[in-house]
C-alpha cells in the first residue's frame, strides 16, 4: 500500500490589520527561515519593506528585498520575475517568500490580473518545496478582495492562527470565472489581419503617435509586444485575427482577438528550458507591458489585452 506524500508547497494568505499585526505575521516567518538556513525573499510595497527591514535589524542583510510595486506593476511579471526567479536561484533548497501583490491603490483594471496571479501560484509551485506568504491589509482593502484571498489560498493566517480555507477554489475552476474582459469601447480603432505583420506595425505606430504621450523608445516596446502577440495569433489561430486600439485616461490599450484557444494557463509565466526555441513570447510581452490581461474560452476564442501607461 502506498501513501500519498503531502505537497511540500504552502501558499498562505496573511490577513492583517495595522503595522503591529503585519510585523507579527511576517517577521517570525522570516526569522524561522533564517534559523532553518533557508533563503528568504520579501517582495512588498516600500512602506512595508521599511517596516520589516527595521524590525529585523542586522538580520535584514540576510534577506532579499524587492519593491513589489516596481517589480510587479504588471501582475503577470511576478511569478517569472520575482517568485520563480528566486526559487530557481536556490534550486534544490526550500525557499520562503513573502509576496504582497495587492495594495489599496491597485486599479479596477489591475485587480482581476492580481487575482489570476494569486490563483496561478498554486499551479506554478505545486510539488515544489517552497512557502509563499501573501499579506492582505484588512484595514484598507475592499472586503470582497479579502474573500478572494481565501478563494486563492489553501490556507489562511490571522492573529497567529492558521487554518485551511473553506473558500479555496482550484485554479482550473476559478480562472475561467475571473478572466472575462469588459467590452472595448465602440470607438476603438480596428484592424482585421490574416497574413503578414507590416499592417499591424503601421497601425500600432500610427495610434501610439496620436497619443503624444509615448517616447520613441516606449513606442518601440509597444510595437514589439503587439507584434509578438499578433504573430502568435497568426501562427496558432484559425481564420482572421483582429487588433483593437484605444486609450483611456491612463493607458494606451491594444487587444488582439482570434478564434484560437490558449491551453496553458501558465503561458508567459514559467520560462521554457534554455534549449527550447519556443515559449518566450508572452514572457517578453509581460515584461514590456504595464498590464496584460488574457481571456481564453473554448467558445469565445482568445483575447490578449495589453496596457501601456501614458506619460
Mapped onto helix, strand or coil, the DSSP state of residue 242 is strand
Q: Which residues contact 52 (CB under 8 A, 6 or more apart)?
A: 23, 26, 27, 30, 42, 44, 60, 63, 65, 98
Predicted confidence at residue 103, as pLDDT, reads 96
Distances (CA, A) of 286 to 73, 136, 260, 307: 10, 24, 20, 10
Whether residue 219 contacts residue 208, with contact meaning beta carbons closer than 8 Å, is answered with yes
Q: Tell me which of 3.40.309.10, 3.40.605.10, 3.40.50.300, 3.40.50.970 is the CATH number of domain 10-178.
A: 3.40.50.300
Domain boundaries, the chain: 10-178, 189-309
Predicted confidence (pLDDT) per residue in 148-188, tens digit: 999 999 999 999 999 999 999 999 999 999 999 999 999 99
250 alpha-carbon distance from chain centroid: 19
Give the pLDDT of residue 124. Answer: 97
Q: Which residues of the chain have pLDDT under 50?
A: 1-4
Q: How far apart are the first and last CA of the chain?
A: 63
Q: Are the C-beta atoms of 225 and 289 separated by less than 8 Å?
A: yes
What topology does CATH give the domain 189-309? Heat Shock Protein 90 (3.30.565)
Q: What is the pLDDT of residue 3?
A: 44
Give the Cα separation of 44 and 68 in Å (integer): 5
Helix (H, G, I), strand (E, B) or coil at 21: helix
DSSP 68-136: HHHHTSSGGGHIIIIIHHHHHHTTTS-EEEEE----TT--TTTHHHHHHHHHHHHHHTTTSSEEEEEEE
The set of cell numbers assigned to 266 is 501558465
CA gap 222, 31 in Å, rounded: 42
pLDDT at residue 2, as a whole number: 45
- 161 three-class SS: strand
Closest alpha carbon to 291 in 75, 44, 101, 108: 75
Amino acid at each position: 500500500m502506498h501513501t500519498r506524500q503531502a505537497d511540500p508547497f504552502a501558499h498562505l494568505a496573511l490577513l492583517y490589520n495595522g503595522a503591529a499585526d503585519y510585523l507579527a505575521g511576517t517577521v517570525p516567518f522570516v526569522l524561522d527561515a533564517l534559523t532553518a538556513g533557508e533563503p528568504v525573499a520579501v517582495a512588498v510595497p516600500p512602506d512595508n519593506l521599511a517596516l520589516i527591514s527595521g524590525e529585523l535589524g542586522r538580520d535584514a542583510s540576510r534577506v532579499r528585498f524587492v519593491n513589489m510595486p516596481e517589480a510587479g506593476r504588471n501582475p503577470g511579471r511576478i511569478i517569472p520575475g520575482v517568485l520563480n526567479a528566486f526559487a530557481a536561484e536556490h534550486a534544490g533548497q526550500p525557499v520562503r517568500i513573502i509576496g504582497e501583490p495587492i495594495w489599496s491603490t491597485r486599479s479596477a483594471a489591475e485587480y482581476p490580473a492580481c487575482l489570476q496571479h494569486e490563483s496561478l501560484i498554486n499551479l506554478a509551485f505545486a510539488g515544489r518545496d517552497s512557502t509563499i506568504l501573501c499579506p492582505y491589509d484588512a484595514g484598507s482593502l475592499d472586503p470582497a478582495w479579502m474573500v478572494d484571498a481565501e478563494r486563492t489560498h489553501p490556507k489562511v493566517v490571522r492573529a497567529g492562527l492558521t487554518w485551511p480555507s473553506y473558500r479555496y477554489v482550484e485554479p482550473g475552476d476559478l480562472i475561467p470565472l475571473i478572466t472575462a474582459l469588459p467590452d472595448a469601447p465602440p470607438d476603438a480603432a480596428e484592424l482585421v489581419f490574416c497574413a503578414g505583420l507590416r499592417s499591424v506595425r503601421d497601425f500600432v505606430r500610427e495610434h501610439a503617435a496620436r497619443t503624444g504621450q509615448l517616447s520613441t523608445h516606449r513606442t518601440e516596446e509597444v510595437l514589439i509586444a503587439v507584434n509578438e502577440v499578433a504573430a502568435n495569433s497568426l501562427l496558432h489561430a484559425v481564420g482572421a485575427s483582429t487588433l483593437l486600439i484605444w486609450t483611456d485616461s491612463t493607458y494606451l490599450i491594444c487587444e488582439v482577438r482570434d478564434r484560437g484557444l490558449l491551453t496553458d494557463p501558465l503561458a508567459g509565466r514559467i520560462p521554457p528550458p534554455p534549449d527550447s526555441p519556443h515559449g518566450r513570447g508572452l514572457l517578453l510581452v509581460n515584461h514590456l507591458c504595464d498590464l496584460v490581461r488574457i481571456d481564453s474560452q473554448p467558445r469565445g476564442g482568445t483575447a490578449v489585452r495589453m496596457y501601456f501607461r501614458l506619460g
